[in-house]
Amino acid sequence: MNAENVRQVLAVQRLEFRKRFLGKRAIPVYLLTLIPLALFGGRAVAVLLFKIHDFSLAQDRVIYAAIYRTLILRFVLYFGCVAIFVPLFRGDILDRSLHYYFLAPVKRSTLTLAKYFSGLAASLILFNAVTLATWMFLYLAGGANVLFDQLGSFHGLSELAGYLLVTSLACVGYGAVFLAAGVLLKNPIVPALAILGWEAINALLPPVLKKVSVIHYLESLLPVSIPPSSGIQILADPASPWVAIPGILALAAVLVTIAVKRVRRLEVLYGVE
Amino acid sequence: MIVFDNISKFYGEVLGVNRITLSIGPGITSLVGPNGSGKTTLMNLVTGLLLPTRGRLSVLGIAPDRPELLMKKVGYCTQYDSFPPGLTGYEFVQATLALHGLTAADARTKAGQAIAKVGLQEAAGRRVAGYSKGMRQRIRLAQAIAHDPEVVVLDEPLNGLDPMARAETIALFQALAKEGRYVLLSSHILHEVDLLSDRVVLVHHGYVVAEGDIPGVRDEIHERPAQVLLRCDRPSLVASRIFELDSAVEIKIHEDGKGLLVHTRDAEKFYLLVNRLVLEHGLDLEAVSPADEDVQAVYRYLIEGEGPSS
């Protein structure tokens, strides 16, 4: 890749960043990210100011783990990635502006990768910020000293790093899934819901089928385990990090390769899209 | 050269264009045909926005499925009236130049030059979303020519332009052609095609029905007698002598008695006869001109299937 190619990739990313952060399609993503922020922020304020709940480090940590798993990972991150990655190509087709990219002297493979990485950067920034903020709100509810203790301890930092790692890998995996869905399918919403259903029943699936999902590997990496008494479906057969991390990266690589191959043959046919 | 070698494009079972074999050289070439005839399909094939179902296409020796090579040499002003959201005219042209890999400084300079060429300097700092149709057309034109392409493809480029902008834009196309570039355009406005084009390609129902320079295309339409308009002092003398030629089909003397319209199957013979009348009878000739050697007549004959106009 020469300097000209680098400038081209950066030009794609500038245009995409503007769309991802400033375009009208960014609104649903911001609304999604507000849900956990409002929940944990509101809780921190309620505990600190109105003392409506006694802070318990061990208990609240488990509550956060449960909410991260159900709300942040399975809902906010999932639909956030739908909203960021599906429109990378599908949005340009609907806006009838994809041809401006295709009329540039950029290889379709380079264009696809540049778009994927711009979506990835946007999602990493947004969702890691949400993860970081909600985690800090969790401990802030116990007081600033509790938060600083966590930030100053290996245990606390490794827990935070674990959540950030899961968030980042979710962006990589779901991003690749929805990039491919956006270029392969005219209406990716139905498959998005189908995949969500598949991910939701993952814990009920036989071990072989469990491994054919993103959530299985992500939940295997969560830093805090949830006791069976919580009523939340517990991962019975977690994958080791040595399997989970390369597994998600490999899945993403395969899906991005499929997307590249499709984009190479993609035609501008706005009238029939 | 832009070379179509037996190119067909089908949209599912719907025909886009079929078995197009065509070579287009430098200068201005106009694609002419009714809506849905296949003009935009041909342009989208040239620029790689569509892939042919069959056949081979090359633009200056480059296959359209190599955008990284092709689009350095080709600029395309499409009919799609849409833009990346939130950009000013200047940012739009600059962003497309950045996609070409230009440095920020070069992109700024070339964007300014292209915007000046289309006369949109004053509005360049405003959002494209607030532009009139004509301004949007011009900023798309600026985007198409900003990187100095050798091949400029323009789909209905005069649409929405006011008369002044139209004249300036036509002058721009002519200047591009004079520099030896390939200008491939489509237009419905036939008298402008006539003014502009070095050659025309008539497209109908996905087929090329004729191509070449306009008089050449007209000459090939043997089943339609040529129409020649003649203004002179004694049209009745001309009329009486014309029927000596077995090629004359119809003569209409003008109401003012100062001219006539001749339909003939052999225009050359008619011109020789007029020369003879001038020499032998001192015919005072004001004007002799072909009446249907324009793209409108060619279009009428080949595409609309009309008979000779009366």
The Cα–Cα gap between A124 and B187 comes to 48
The ipTM is: 0.82
Instruction: Specify whether B88 is located in the same domain as B128.
Output: yes
Neighbour-count burial of A179, counting CB atoms closer than 10 A to its CB (0-12 exposed, 13-18 middle, 19+ buried): buried
Looking at B202-266, list the stretches that DSSP marks H as alpha helix, in order from N- to C-terminal side. Answer: 214-220, 235-242
Output the pTM of the full model.
Answer: 0.85
pLDDT at B66: 92
Residue B40 in contact with partner chain A when CB distance is under 8 A: no
Give the H or E element holding residue B73. Answer: helix B67-73
B78 to chain A: which residues are within 8 Å by CB? Answer: 99, 103
Give the minimum alpha-carbon distance from A259 to chain B in angstroms, rounded to a whole number.
17
Tokens representing residue B227 in the block: 């129409």
Percent above pLDDT 90 for chain B: 47
Angle at A182 between CA A178 and CA B89, to 5 degrees: 115
pLDDT at B223: 66
Tokens representing residue B75 in the block: 């600029």
The Cα–Cα gap between A113 and A109 comes to 6
Instruction: Specify whether B151 is located in the same domain as B233.
Output: no
Name the interface residues of A facing B (CB cutoff 8 Å).
4-5, 7-8, 10-12, 14-15, 18-19, 22-24, 95-97, 99-108, 110, 264-265, 267-270, 272
Residue B189, amino acid? I
End-to-end CA distance of chain A: 33
pLDDT at A18: 87
Residue A60, amino acid? D
Q: Do B86 and A22 touch (CB under 8 A)?
A: yes
The Cα–Cα gap between B254 and A177 comes to 75
What does the buried/exposed string (b/e) look like for A97-134 if buried means 16 or more CB atoms within 10 Å of the residue's CB?
bbbbbbbbbbbbbbbbbbbbbbbbebbbebbbebbebb
Q: Do A106 and B86 touch (CB under 8 A)?
A: no
The Cα–Cα gap between B276 and B241 comes to 10
Q: Do B98 and A8 touch (CB under 8 A)?
A: yes
pLDDT at B306: 52
- The domain limits of chain A are 3-272
- From B218, B243, B277, the end of a domain falls on B218
Q: In CATH, what number is assigned to the domain containing residue B147?
A: 3.40.50.300
A21 to chain B: which residues are within 8 Å by CB? Answer: none
pLDDT at B307: 46
Query: What number is the average pLDDT over the span B62-91?
Result: 92
Contact A259, A183 (CB under 8 A): yes
Instruction: Specify whether B211 is located in the same domain as B233.
Output: no
B76 to chain A: which residues are within 8 Å by CB? Answer: 99, 103
- From B189, B218, B247, the end of a domain falls on B218
Query: What number is the average pLDDT over the span A145-151?
Result: 89
Q: Do A95 and B71 touch (CB under 8 A)?
A: no
pLDDT at A236: 59
**Confidence at A214, pLDDT banded by 50, 70, 90:** confident
Residue B211 lies in a domain: yes
The Cα–Cα gap between A133 and A167 comes to 13
Instruction: Specify whether B121 is located in the same domain as B21.
Output: yes
- Chain Cα centroid distance, residue A168: 7
pLDDT at A235: 56
Higher pLDDT, B261 or A235: B261
Q: Do B11 and A269 touch (CB under 8 A)?
A: yes
Q: Which residue of B has its CA nearest to A110?
A: B68
Instruction: Specify whether B205 is located in the same domain as B157.
Output: yes
Q: Do A22 and B44 touch (CB under 8 A)?
A: no
pLDDT at A228: 66
Contact A256, A113 (CB under 8 A): yes
Task: Write the residue in B67, B83, B102 that is nearest to A102 by C-beta.
Answer: B67
Instruction: Specify whether B38 is located in the same domain as B112.
Output: yes
Give the H or E element holding residue B249. Answer: strand B248-253
Residue B310 lies in a domain: no
**Confidence at A99, pLDDT banded by 50, 70, 90:** very high
Give the count of beta carbons closer than 10 Å to the beta carbon of residue B280.
9
Residue B151 in contact with partner chain A when CB distance is under 8 A: no
What does the buried/exposed string (b/e) look like for A211-222 if buried means 16 or more CB atoms within 10 Å of the residue's CB?
eebbbbbbbbbb
Instruction: Specify whether B243 is located in the same domain as B206.
Output: no
In tens, the pLDDT along B152-162 reads 999 999 888 88
- Phi and psi at B249, nearest 5°, equal -110, -45
Q: Which domain holds residue B285?
A: 225-291
The Cα–Cα gap between A174 and B61 comes to 41
Q: How many contacts does A have with B, using Cβ atoms within 8 A? A: 97
Neighbour-count burial of B7, counting CB atoms closer than 10 A to its CB (0-12 exposed, 13-18 middle, 19+ buried): buried
Query: What number is the average pLDDT over the span A195-221?
Result: 83
Q: Which residue of B has its CA nearest to A114?
A: B99
pLDDT for A19 beyond 70? yes
Instruction: Tally the domains of chain B.
Output: 2
Instruction: Specify whether B59 is located in the same domain as B196.
Output: yes
Task: Write the residue in A19, A99, A107 that is nearest to B68 by C-beta.
Answer: A107
- From B218, B240, B255, the end of a domain falls on B218
pLDDT at A273: 47
Q: In CATH, what number is assigned to the domain containing residue B234?
A: 3.30.70.100
Residue B11 in contact with partner chain A when CB distance is under 8 A: yes
What is the maximal distance between C-alpha atoms in chain B? 74
Task: Write the residue in A23, A24, A102 that is nearest to B48 by C-beta.
Answer: A102
